[in-house]
Chains A and B, each alone.
Chain A
Amino acid sequence: MNETSLELQNIAKYFGQLAALNDVSLAVSNGEFLTLLGPSGCGKTTLLRILTGYLQPDSGRVIVAGKDVTETPPHKRNMGMVFQSFALFPHLSVNDNIAFPLKIRHVPASEQKKLVDEALRMVHLETHAQSFPRQLSGGQQQRVGLARAIVFRPSILLLDEPLSNLDANLREEMRAEINQVTRRLGIASVYVTHDQQEALALSDRIAVMNHGKVIQVGTPDEIYNTPRTRFVADFIGHSNCFTVRVDGGSGTIDGVEGSLATEGFRDLSGPTSVFVHPGDVQLSSETRQGKNGLHCTVVDAAFLGDRVEYVLELVPGVRLKVHNTGGRGLFSPGSRIWATFPSDKMVVVEND
């Protein structure tokens, strides 16, 4: 199970002077679902194209099941791929689209039929086998795309933003479908997306990329709760980073009453970036001079039923988002309150 299916070793790719990929190394084990997450232009698509063989890396190696395939042309890599644009063959029926990789591989007809039927069942399209792609909805088309990508049991399944061409309400359904199918087959999957929700929901591990580099690799839990850098924290969906001046294990902000302390400050001094989840900050109106409190101003308060969303301002330009689920009562915009940051919830992040 934990055998390495795919290994990328020190991949670099330059477009002119621009480093599209800079010393990227990753490994995906058998049955593992890895997501490449990052904003557009971060290099994730370039990396995917190097995986499929459409691009040659300037240096580094791609190893699949122990075999160096860096020089292998795309059609011999035995990879399954789900495309953002579906890329179904319009001249072939659903059945023939799914059978396509098998036909090319000269799989015997009886075996073909068995595998195609199984794949159709897996994506719940048994009744649409004779339809043509244009007769199907976007969600159904992408399910055909998924079936076609797995029917020949590829060594690796690549998924290139497979949900981004679907309507919002279909996305969740398709996401569940992808999750189910990949788990069931136990196939090593590499998923490319810029959507942190998809990444968190689907992945065993996430590789957050920016500017052609892998910034952090970790489980969704690790990425979400302990982002290593400010970029990761921001990208995963919270702009809740602020800078404090650390001196002797205690952090302060110029012009803000109060101070913060956490394990992470121990060996530090000088400006330090701190990240905290919106749900982990406690608010109170009492004047409190205790540890880990900062005095701030409520800029905006929105009551959403199950929680109240606040925007707080520490100093002009430095704002925090806070979700207050417990407790009742609403702090109105303009009021001065105390925000308490539990020391075990603060994460020191690197600036990048």
Chain B
Amino acid sequence: MTFGFRMRPWRRLLMIVSLALFVLFIILPFVMIFLQAFGADWFGMEPLPRAWTLKWFQWAGETVDIVKVLINTLIIGFLATVIALAVSIPAAWAIARRRLPLKGLLMGLILFPRMIPEITYALGVGRIFYFLNLTNTYLGVALAHVILAAPFAVLVLTSTFEGIDNRLLEAGTVFGCNTSQLFLRVILPLALPGIVAAALFSFLSSYNDFVLTLMLYGPDTVTLSVQTFLTFGDGYTSVASAISVILLIPALLFLAALLRMVKPENLLGGLKGA
């Protein structure tokens, strides 16, 4: 008995159904949020809301300083990205290009915060930052986010830097580059796809974070995810959904940008060269 390469009809059907279920599994929560955010007095008893409304967004605008929250989120995300890159570019360079003692241990240490439950780590970070007076500051929340962002950034950048041909650096030097010219004119352009990917990852890590932020936020540093949680906690499910929708938009924009710039299957491996 041989197995043909062509699928039997029932197998094909099974495949299509399981794929559809998988897509539904991913999409359905988003659908629910949208229904909740735009539906008038919909409590999930009927399949669809009877009427549509924008009043939850209006409420969100009235009960919460949504612009301030958005600005907080963006500033913290931007800070976290800049710091994460500033830390992980040299670190990744050292890991990729130099013979470091205990390279494995170092890599493990960098990845450690992502290996344990975030809440565990957050408790410790909260304790230290409270002591250092860093809670309820942009810098403090951003620094905490760097802990999340840096491991991914270091991973992506390490493989990017490892992929740079030594002979190109040699060529750069022979043709007259000093160290900083070599970095600006050769290394940076060659590593740009990796750096962009690391930056996007970092920004999204910060933008999406909830647990660490919850430990460190204060009245001046409420972010979108924390605000969603707070509003939900107050019982305004639909308003929380409306905030979630706002929360979603930048993430989707970034995802689109990311997919345009790098192949998703390469994100953690070698990035496509220039």
Which residues on A are within 8 Å of B, measured CB to CB? 52, 54, 74-81, 83, 85, 87-92, 100-101, 103-105, 148, 152
Given contacts A104-B181, A104-B185, A87 and B168 within 8 Å (CB-CB): yes
Enumerate chain B residues within 8 angstroms of A74, measured Cβ to Cβ.
173-174
Do residues B274 and A52 form an inter-chain contact, with CB atoms below 8 A?
A: no
Do residues A83 and B167 form an inter-chain contact, with CB atoms below 8 A?
A: yes
Tell me, in angstroms, the Cα distance from A195 to B7 when the chains sit together: 57
Write the B162-187 contact mask toward A (1 if CB under 8 angstroms, else 0). Answer: 00010110111111111001000110
Chain A, Cβ-Cβ closest to B176? A104
Enumerate chain B residues within 8 angstroms of A148, measured Cβ to Cβ.
175
Enumerate chain B residues within 8 angstroms of A91, measured Cβ to Cβ.
189-190, 192, 274
Tell me, in angstroms, the Cα distance from A87 to B169 when the chains sit together: 9
Tell me, in angstroms, the Cα distance from A101 to B177 when the chains sit together: 8
21 A-B pairs with C-beta separation under 8 A: A52-B174, A75-B175, A75-B178, A78-B176, A80-B175, A81-B171, A83-B170, A87-B171, A89-B171, A89-B172, A89-B190, A90-B168, A90-B190, A90-B274, A91-B190, A91-B274, A101-B175, A104-B176, A104-B177, A148-B175, A152-B175
Do residues A83 and B176 form an inter-chain contact, with CB atoms below 8 A?
A: no
Partner of B177, one of A54, A75, A87: A75
Tell me, in angstroms, the Cα distance from A159 to B209 when the chains sit together: 54
Chain B, Cβ-Cβ closest to A148? B175
Interface of B is mostly: helix
Do residues B167 and A87 form an inter-chain contact, with CB atoms below 8 A?
A: yes
- Chain A's nearest CB lies how many Å from the CB of B190? 6
Enumerate chain A residues within 8 angstroms of B168, measured Cβ to Cβ.
87, 89-90
Is the CB of B250 closer than 8 A to any CB of chain A? no
Tell me, in angstroms, the Cα distance from A105 to B176 when the chains sit together: 7
Tell me, in angstroms, the Cα distance from A103 to B175 when the chains sit together: 10
- Chain B's nearest CB lies how many Å from the CB of A31? 21
Do residues B274 and A104 form an inter-chain contact, with CB atoms below 8 A?
A: no
Enumerate chain A residues within 8 angstroms of B108, measured Cβ to Cβ.
none
Do residues A75 and B274 form an inter-chain contact, with CB atoms below 8 A?
A: no
Do residues A101 and B273 form an inter-chain contact, with CB atoms below 8 A?
A: no
Do residues A85 and B175 form an inter-chain contact, with CB atoms below 8 A?
A: no
Partner of A75, one of B165, B167, B174: B174
Enumerate chain B residues within 8 angstroms of A77, measured Cβ to Cβ.
174
Given contacts A90-B273, A91-B189, A75 and B176 within 8 Å (CB-CB): yes
Given A91-B190, A104-B177, 15 extra CB contacts under 8 A: A54-B170, A75-B174, A75-B175, A80-B174, A81-B171, A81-B175, A87-B165, A87-B167, A87-B168, A89-B190, A90-B273, A92-B189, A104-B176, A152-B175, A152-B176
Chain A, Cβ-Cβ closest to B174? A81
Chain B, Cβ-Cβ closest to A145? B171
Chain B, Cβ-Cβ closest to A106? B176
Q: Closest 4 CB pairs between A and B? A: A104-B176, A91-B274, A87-B171, A101-B175
Given contacts A91-B274, A104-B185, A79 and B171 within 8 Å (CB-CB): no
Enumerate chain B residues within 8 angstroms of A101, measured Cβ to Cβ.
175-176
Do residues B174 and A89 form an inter-chain contact, with CB atoms below 8 A?
A: no
Chain A, Cβ-Cβ closest to B274? A91
Tell me, in angstroms, the Cα distance from A206 to B175 when the chains sit together: 26
Chain A, Cβ-Cβ closest to B168? A87
Tell me, in angstroms, the Cα distance from A85 to B176 when the chains sit together: 19
Do residues A83 and B171 form an inter-chain contact, with CB atoms below 8 A?
A: yes
- Chain B's nearest CB lies how many Å from the CB of A86? 9
Enumerate chain B residues within 8 angstroms of A54, measured Cβ to Cβ.
170
Tell me, in angstroms, the Cα distance from A76 to B170 when the chains sit together: 13
Do residues B167 and A104 form an inter-chain contact, with CB atoms below 8 A?
A: no
Tell me, in angstroms, the Cα distance from A83 to B189 when the chains sit together: 21
Chain A, Cβ-Cβ closest to B192? A91
Tell me, in angstroms, the Cα distance from A87 to B164 when the chains sit together: 11
Tell me, in angstroms, the Cα distance from A78 to B177 when the chains sit together: 11
Tell me, in angstroms, the Cα distance from A85 to B165 when the chains sit together: 10
Tell me, in angstroms, the Cα distance from A91 to B168 when the chains sit together: 11
Chain A, Cβ-Cβ closest to B175? A101
Tell me, in angstroms, the Cα distance from A75 to B168 when the chains sit together: 14
- Chain A's nearest CB lies how many Å from the CB of B194? 13
Chain B, Cβ-Cβ closest to A49? B170
Enumerate chain B residues within 8 angstroms of A79, measured Cβ to Cβ.
174
Enumerate chain A residues within 8 angstroms of B177, measured Cβ to Cβ.
75, 104
Enumerate chain A residues within 8 angstroms of B273, measured Cβ to Cβ.
90
Chain A, Cβ-Cβ closest to B169? A87
Name which of A75, A90, A100, A103 has the most chain B CB atoms within 10 A of its CB. A75
Tell me, in angstroms, the Cα distance from A52 to B171 when the chains sit together: 10
Partner of B173, one of A75, A85, A92: A75
